[in-house]
Structure 1
Amino acid sequence: MAPPPERLKANYNVSVKLEPFFTGGKVQVSKDGEFLLCQCGDRIQVIDTKFGKTIRSLIQEEDEVITFVIGSDDETLISSHKSSLLRHWNWKDGSVVRTWKSLHLTPVVELAFDTTTTLVASGGTDGSLKVWDIRRQYCTHNLKGGSGVYSIVKFHPDPKVSIIFGASMDCKIRCWDLNTSKLIGVLEGHFSVVTGLTISNTLKQAVSSGRDKVLIFWDLSTFSQLRIIPTYECTESLIPIEFGKLVPHLNVTDVKSPHVITAGEKGCVRVWNVKSGIEVFTQTDSLVTQPIVEGAPTITQLEYNETNDHLYVITFDHNIIVHQRKDLALVKQYAGYNDDILDIAWFGEGETHLAVATNSIHVKVYDIETMNCTLLKGHTDLVLALATSKSDFSILITSSKDNSVRVWKMSQSPFEIICIAQGNAHTGSVGSVALSRTKLSFLVSGSQDTCLKMWKLSPTQNEDDENLSVLHTVVAHDKDINAVCISPNDNLIASGSQDKVAKIWNSSDLKLLGVLRGHRRGLWAVQFSPADQILASGSTDGNIMLWSLIDYSCLKTLEGHESSVLRIHFVSKGYQLVSAASDGLIKLWTIKTSECVATMDAHQSKVWALAVKSDDSLLVSGAGDSTLILWKDVTKEEREAAVQEKEKRILEEQQLANLMQKGLLLEALGLAIHLDQPFRTLNILKDLMDQGEVALADLEKMVVKLSTNQKDSLLRYSTTWNTNSRHCHQAQMVINILLANHTADELFSLPSMRGAIAGLLMYNERHMQRINRLRQNTAILPYTAAKIQATRGEEVMETN
């Protein structure tokens, strides 16, 4: 029985596209806290902090951004590039105001604005420091004395004090007087790269941090050390705490002492009283992941925004974690770069969240509304697969290369995700998992150890992180198991393997029921139909095969993908199928007709992950290009638009018929061109030519007033008419009007002009030859007539 047409999907369109927006480098927050500006490859991305979406990209082709800085006016942005150019942007509209050469021998790695956004300082890798007046557009200072790459450049925060500070590879912080361009002091004490410098606006004091694991408290009046504070970690960034503002565990009596917040190698935020040298607070619940490389910086940068009082923690794995400064409470998390997206699952009651496995040891859970990201920490190696069940979307199953599976539970109020159970019985990477569908009683996992395991899942499990018990284990395949799934009634389990076969198992005891052979290469996906006794399988051979669960025979093969089929899902209650492949394409199939009804092309790499919302309204895909795309079902909208377009066309055709009947040919001509009806256009032109010179003059005026698209259509029609001698007169008339009333530039702005020239020249030459023959024949006629008349006259005379 064929499904009703209204039940079938026709197309999915991109609704939301989440691309990488931070791949390392600098991050800066706008003054109002509404935007994040992040380095992403060769561009600067402007991110809306409310929804976590990229709203603008600042990019110059083939000129990679090295660093940037925003002025205190919150509009001016200066960026340095690999080409040694500096660019002045208005980042709010994405326009380039000015570009100039930095005059450094090597690229600029540090930039800083003064408090008035008039001067900008550039520190290069050549050991020089230059100051630019961006309004008058010239270099005001060329300060020498540094050695090697600059790590810190900073103006004094008091606009009345014309001093600039710079720290280079020799670990010294130099101070120059901008009025005299002379070096007035050197802060010596660090033995490694200086990574941070904060200067007091009211007191002549400063604090610096470095990778030598100390903070140094300086007296700027004498350029001497007041205190050296050991931190026992390589500090990458520090920010000051203004006098009078509270921080965690800071007594009211200590508020008037200078304090700073630091972060670096240990991956946690720390607060220091620099006057006493005491650490007053250490963050114990940090969400930052420790890097695999020992000694590498975990937190690379700290940013503070005074407007919203938020502290932004930027990590080595491209995450941005936002805290309230006063108590370090978590506000939001952003995932700047996802790497390869390996799997996706809808998560949470009402499917409000997306769980994403991103080639990381943590699972990222996105809120669909705000794109706030939560990290699930627990696995010790890369997470490979995810699974949820329609019976309870608050439960998430994850599997990993650490040979384990974990069970997570989400609670909405307060929002929390905890691990309630884990299983560690596999001896190889667990590449696929599935959860029972009618009730949460068991889960199934397939592993690189070729074993299929069935685990008992108790609904009474709590947050004690219990160990899962194995109900059944079977050596299922000869090679890695890439996919497992459970039937809608929980009676059957299917597994697909690299050994080119799929197998059907009884869920009660994992007894083998059938072997499905037919694919030429390994399988990556298996799915049960929600309506029929059918199993679908996708393989590296590019085919999707549909199997009968009665006799385990192949019912049909869907051919269309030219590369490996990595994911498949049934939609439209089993009448249709969505598949994703390694060429980045997603295809929508109608099973009854074996027809591919839509191909969606938005990814640039292998589509490893595909998930469909339970009502089929949204489809989400993730690929090796680090892009997460939400596709919206637009079938209803497209059908309604098609109906409206059909009704509109019927009305316009009726209007055209009425105009022709009334003899309003010029109005009818414009409407015929709009409706793309070349035959009616030709007939109208013939009628106009029959009406004489006045009608042709009006025609010329009307053609000149046509839109560019209508003129282009008329040119295309004329090119076709010109190939037929019966219609060439109308074609030549149109071409003559276009040539007589338009310049060459205007004519070549028509899209069809260049392609029409060759055809017009060839047929015009034929028409000219035909006319020349007619002229010759016409010239012979009078001579022939005279000869005939003369002959007749001679015959009459002879007769007489």
Structure 2
Amino acid sequence: MAPSSALKTTFKATKTIKPFYSGGVGCVALDRSGRLLVTANGDEAVITDIENGAEVARIDGLEDEISTVALSPDASYLILSISKSYQMHTYSLSPDFTTVPITVTPNHERQVKQTSPIIVSACDPTGTLVATGGSDGLVKVWDIRKGFVTHNLRGHGGLVSALSFFMAEGESPVEMEATTKKGKKKDVMGRFMLATGGEDTQVLVWDLETTTNVATLQNHNSIVRGLDWSLDGKRLLSGGRDGVMCLIDTKTWNAVPTPTGEEVEAVGFVAPGMFEREDGGSTDKLIFAAGRQDRIRVWDLTKGEEITKEAKVEEDEEKGVIQVIYHKSLASLLSVHHDYTIQIHALRLPSPAPISLPTTKHITTNYDQILDLQFLPPDSSLIAIATNSENVTLVSSKTFHDVAILRGHTETVLTLDSDWSGHWLATAGKDNDARLWKIDAENNSFTCAAVFTGHAESVAALSLPRQRPQEGSKAAEEKQPPKFMLTGGADRTIKKWDVSLVPGKKPRAVWTKRAHEKDINAIDVSPDDSLFASASQDRTVKIWSTEEGETIGVLRGHRRAVWSVKFAPSTITASAVGGEAGMKGGRMVVTGSTDKTVKLWSLVDYSCLKTFEGHTNSIQRALWISGGLQVVSGGNDGLVKVWDIKSGECSATLDNHEQRIWAISTRPDEEDQGSTIASADAEGVITFWSDVTATTIAEKDAEEQALVEEQQKLANYIAINDYRSAISLALSLNHPGQLLKLLTSVTTATPEAGSLSGIVAVDEVLSTLSDSQLGVLLCRIRDWNTNARTAVTAQRVLFVLLRSYGAPRLVSLRGVGRDVWDALGSYTERHYKRIEELVEESFMVEYTLKQMEQVLGNSSDSMEIEVL
């Protein structure tokens, strides 16, 4: 018997995960609370509550890509620089940190134009000033609140690449020395300083009180990328792409260089007391650096040595840290990586020391193309995502923070599948291999249990068994690995693998079959594991015996490549789709193809039961929902469609994607499968759709009930001549027919003395309407005035309104555009012209009648005479 699940006809996009960082140095900012994250994504700035992963605001409409992002420490102001137009935009944010997530209200304060593209920008610790460094070597310091330039600092011979403010705390200034033009030294009392680094390899130090260049330092041989001041201002730290960090004494300007063995992108001092070391070492004088080795390294200044573990890390052009954000009040720092990931690192070093600071949060900001997506049982708290990458990302379904990165494949992962327990995840890709991963989220353990090697080309299809072990069995209790795995791909073969996971023994293929004439795109195992289906580019779907690997049926009918195949739930029979009553077995599959159709097939006679047409492009995924009563599909047209398998009609079309949809998944933990649908596209956008059919029906029923009640009220008001309530209710209910009927009865009745409309009470109502009611009524008068039968009522009511309010007020009403008055004017002229013609015609009729009377009158006289 088919399940009694109700059909789903209405879905709502309850959550959308979009890319929120498109790369770029200086395009990420964090407030000093460590909660509010701002990232640049092309021409948009995205504000995120980093604790729960919620997007709280998105600033768009900037018309060009953002080159730098600067955020005041208290998150009150955001400064965005635009690359091509040289514009700098300032927004006030007014954050409320007491709400969850944080509430932010961006308000555009001003925009100014720079003289060159902005390369770097930074706010001072007080949030009063922002410095910008341009490609022309000019550094400008701006007052954030008032928007004027406070300093123009010239000195660099190329683009400015690094900025760092220092502001002394308390009343004690910082003593420094500087070399004058005459070669003599003098003490410089600086409280407000700015260090700048540039492409010319120089570091310039500026006193902002006197606008003088305090020092010019040439300690690097390449572009300077990192600058930071110690809390007391006695030291300045610089790092460059020459692989050297320089610790500078700000009293003598002497520098102590330290080779790092990598191109340095960021350096900084760790605030005393913020670092934890399990080895008992000093935590007072520590610095960090990061760069091409893609890790956060820490040095101990008291010993002059690195305390993170030295490691030979191969530099990769697609990897590396490009920015580090650290507020001295936090016990963590944030790193931005070349692969569009953001990591939060704890200022803690376990013993023995690792090669990098431990990562507490890992956030993928841009998934690029999403090729497959799977909710992991049993509770769907984890989602596995395969992107255009060799890694598979496991994310939390609540915060969408990365839980783990599964590394092992050497080329792009194309497909995923999970077993019934969610403890085993299978992956396969372009490296010709498949892998089985053990997922133990409770113990934070994610390991590769086996590698399946044997295919000659890419593996694009795989499937694990579907049948659950018996309750209480050893396999169920211990969540043992699946018994077998099926794989297929571009080499046109299907392999069945024995997943016994014997230590020291490589998995072997039980059998290998030449399956199709072209690439295999999808494989699925039946609910009882006795059959499996394979879909291919050769336009066919084959049904196989799982045990022997023999073909038992071929599904032919698609005109182009088949990309998806899924077995129906075991509870659904062929009769559920209107098949012949004599059909036995009830097994079916659903397929999706490049020919833009979804097809249902019977596995009794391998015939096509239904063809669903409606997509305008290739269909990449199709699967069952609602216990098998419906099918959901997604394709290259960016649409998700839900089909009723019995009627063959489209129950719902879900539209929230602009690119092709590669992946669709449902939560396996939901009793009514399909109540939540996740769809992912080639632009990295993931949409979570929730079934709101029951809510929608309830709301519709409530609206209809309320409408009936209001209509009864309106009838009651009319019956008792309560014109004020009747007209107000008719306007609010948007009932033009009832309102016209009411006003027509008023204007055609015997007029009361002194009334404009016909009834004095109606005059009073029409003369005391609100602006919104007047706007609605004028639109109704415009419509009535277009019909000769209702134009009299329209003109009469318009006359009342003009006498009551005057033309100037009516013309100035919001929501009443010029089109309303143009329509009223043109049709009114037409009606008056028609009336004038009728009057002229009436004169002719009157003349004719008079002439006839005269003729008839003369004839009567003659007849009388003759009679006499």
TM over 0.5: yes
Structure 1 residue 61 displacement after superposition: 2.6
Distance in 1 of aligned mates of 2:378 and 2:311: 31
Distance in 1 of aligned mates of 2:2 and 2:742: 46
Structure 1 residue 759 displacement after superposition: 6.0
Q: 1:726 aligns with which of 779, 785, 789?
A: 789
Distance 1:502 1:297, change over 3 A: closer
Q: Does structure 1 residue 131 correspond to structure 2 residue 138?
A: no
Distance 1:496 1:197, change over 3 A: same
Structure 1 residue 8 displacement after superposition: 0.8
Q: 1:425 aligns with which of 454, 462, 466?
A: 454
Residue matched to 2:326: 304
Distance in 2 of aligned mates of 1:787 and 1:570: 87
Distance 1:101 1:779, change over 3 A: same
Residue matched to 2:486: 444
Query: Does the Cα contact within 8 Å between 1:605 and 1:625 map onto a contact in 2?
Result: yes
Residue matched to 1:266: 293
Query: Deviations 1:692-719 (Å, cap 9, x if unpaired)?
Result: 2535554455456556776565455545
Query: Deviations 1:149-190 (Å, cap 9, x if unpaired)?
Result: 111122223265233221111101112233433322211111
3-state DSSP of counterpart to 1:771: helix
Structure 1 residue 495 displacement after superposition: 0.7
3-state DSSP of counterpart to 1:413: helix
The amino acid that maps onto 1:88 is: T
Q: 2:217 aligns with which of 164, 182, 187?
A: 187
Q: Does structure 1 residue 316 correspond to structure 2 residue 338?
A: yes
Residue matched to 2:421: 392
Query: Does the Cα contact within 8 Å between 1:250 and 1:280 map onto a contact in 2?
Result: no
Query: Deviations 1:588-615 (Å, cap 9, x if unpaired)?
Result: 1101111001101100100000001233
Matches within 5 A, 1:160-179: 160=173, 161-179=191-209
Query: Deviations 1:304-352 (Å, cap 9, x if unpaired)?
Result: 2455512212111111111211234432211100000110101142111
Distance in 2 of aligned mates of 1:491 and 1:682: 69
Structure 1 residue 669 displacement after superposition: 3.2
Query: Deviations 1:627-663 (Å, cap 9, x if unpaired)?
Result: 1111101111111111211211221222222222222
Q: Does structure 1 residue 593 correspond to structure 2 residue 647?
A: yes
Distance in 2 of aligned mates of 1:786 and 1:278: 124
Matches within 5 A, 1:321-336: 321-327=343-349, 328-336=357-365
Q: 2:728 aligns with which of 667, 670, 678?
A: 670
Residue matched to 2:693: 635
Structure 1 residue 33 displacement after superposition: 1.6
Distance in 2 of aligned mates of 1:465 and 1:89: 61
3-state DSSP of counterpart to 2:370: coil
3-state DSSP of counterpart to 1:392: coil
* Greater CA drift, 512-521 or 118-127: 118-127
Query: Does the Cα contact within 8 Å between 2:42 and 2:64 map onto a contact in 1?
Result: no
Distance in 2 of aligned mates of 1:570 and 1:17: 22
Query: Deviations 1:769-795 (Å, cap 9, x if unpaired)?
Result: 331133224445665666566667766
Residue matched to 1:776: 840
Structure 1 residue 743 displacement after superposition: 5.7
Q: Does structure 1 residue 118 correspond to structure 2 residue 99?
A: no
Q: 1:98 aligns with which of 110, 113, 132?
A: 110
Distance in 2 of aligned mates of 1:594 and 1:496: 22
3-state DSSP of counterpart to 2:432: coil
Q: Does structure 1 residue 86 correspond to structure 2 residue 101?
A: no
Query: Does the Cα contact within 8 Å between 2:662 and 2:680 map onto a contact in 1?
Result: yes
Q: Which ranges in structure 1 are unaligned for 5 or more consecutive residues?
A: none
3-state DSSP of counterpart to 1:156: strand
Query: Does the Cα contact within 8 Å between 2:167 and 2:193 map onto a contact in 1?
Result: no
Structure 1 residue 753 displacement after superposition: 5.4
Q: Does structure 1 residue 489 correspond to structure 2 residue 528?
A: yes
Query: Does the Cα contact within 8 Å between 2:563 and 2:594 map onto a contact in 1?
Result: yes
Distance in 1 of aligned mates of 2:198 and 2:839: 90
Q: Which ranges in structure 2 are unaligned for 5 or more consecutive residues?
A: 96-104, 174-190, 350-356, 469-481, 574-586
Residue matched to 1:354: 383
Query: Does the Cα contact within 8 Å between 2:47 and 2:55 map onto a contact in 1?
Result: yes
Distance 1:796 1:648, change over 3 A: closer
Q: Does structure 1 residue 207 correspond to structure 2 residue 207?
A: no
Structure 1 residue 723 displacement after superposition: 4.4
Q: Does structure 1 residue 648 correspond to structure 2 residue 647?
A: no
Residue matched to 2:578: none
Distance in 2 of aligned mates of 1:671 and 1:456: 73
Query: Does the Cα contact within 8 Å between 1:217 and 1:274 map onto a contact in 2?
Result: no
Distance 1:121 1:216, change over 3 A: same
3-state DSSP of counterpart to 2:409: coil
Residue matched to 1:687: 745
Residue matched to 1:8: 7
Distance 1:745 1:574, change over 3 A: farther
The alignment's C-alpha RMSD in Å is 2.8
* Greater CA drift, 74-83 or 720-729: 720-729
Query: Does the Cα contact within 8 Å between 1:665 and 1:688 map onto a contact in 2?
Result: no
The amino acid that maps onto 1:455 is: W
3-state DSSP of counterpart to 1:685: helix
Distance in 1 of aligned mates of 2:45 and 2:777: 45
Distance 1:783 1:516, change over 3 A: closer
Distance in 1 of aligned mates of 2:689 and 2:504: 36
Distance 1:309 1:348, change over 3 A: farther
Query: Does the Cα contact within 8 Å between 1:215 and 1:228 map onto a contact in 2?
Result: yes
3-state DSSP of counterpart to 2:307: strand
Query: Does the Cα contact within 8 Å between 1:420 and 1:465 map onto a contact in 2?
Result: no
Query: Deviations 1:259-317 (Å, cap 9, x if unpaired)?
Result: 2111111112211123543111138799xxx7753xx6511122224555122121111
Residue matched to 1:46: 47
Distance in 2 of aligned mates of 1:329 and 1:465: 32
3-state DSSP of counterpart to 2:221: coil
Matches within 5 A, 1:234-633: 234-248=263-277, 251-252=280-281, 254-256=282-284, 258-282=285-309, 293=317, 298-327=320-349, 328-374=357-403, 375-389=405-419, 391-439=420-468, 440-458=482-500, 461=501, 467-530=506-569, 531-532=572-573, 533-614=587-668, 615-633=673-691
Distance in 1 of aligned mates of 2:675 and 2:312: 38
Distance in 1 of aligned mates of 2:128 and 2:59: 22
3-state DSSP of counterpart to 1:636: helix
Distance in 1 of aligned mates of 2:812 and 2:664: 46
Structure 1 residue 747 displacement after superposition: 5.3
Query: Deviations 1:80-111 (Å, cap 9, x if unpaired)?
Result: 22222222221342112222223x3x112122
What is the count of residue pairs matched by the alignment? 785
3-state DSSP of counterpart to 2:494: strand
Query: Deviations 1:330-376 (Å, cap 9, x if unpaired)?
Result: 32211100000110101142111111111111111111122221311
Query: Does the Cα contact within 8 Å between 2:293 and 2:315 map onto a contact in 1?
Result: no
Distance in 1 of aligned mates of 2:504 and 2:38: 39
Distance in 2 of aligned mates of 1:746 and 1:403: 74
Query: Does the Cα contact within 8 Å between 1:419 and 1:465 map onto a contact in 2?
Result: no
Distance in 2 of aligned mates of 1:752 and 1:471: 76
Distance 1:583 1:221, change over 3 A: same
The amino acid that maps onto 1:482 is: N
Query: Does the Cα contact within 8 Å between 1:208 and 1:216 map onto a contact in 2?
Result: yes
Distance 1:349 1:794, change over 3 A: closer
Query: Deviations 1:215-257 (Å, cap 9, x if unpaired)?
Result: 11212112222x22111111111121123443446644x334x
Query: Does the Cα contact within 8 Å between 1:239 and 1:303 map onto a contact in 2?
Result: no
Structure 1 residue 443 displacement after superposition: 1.8
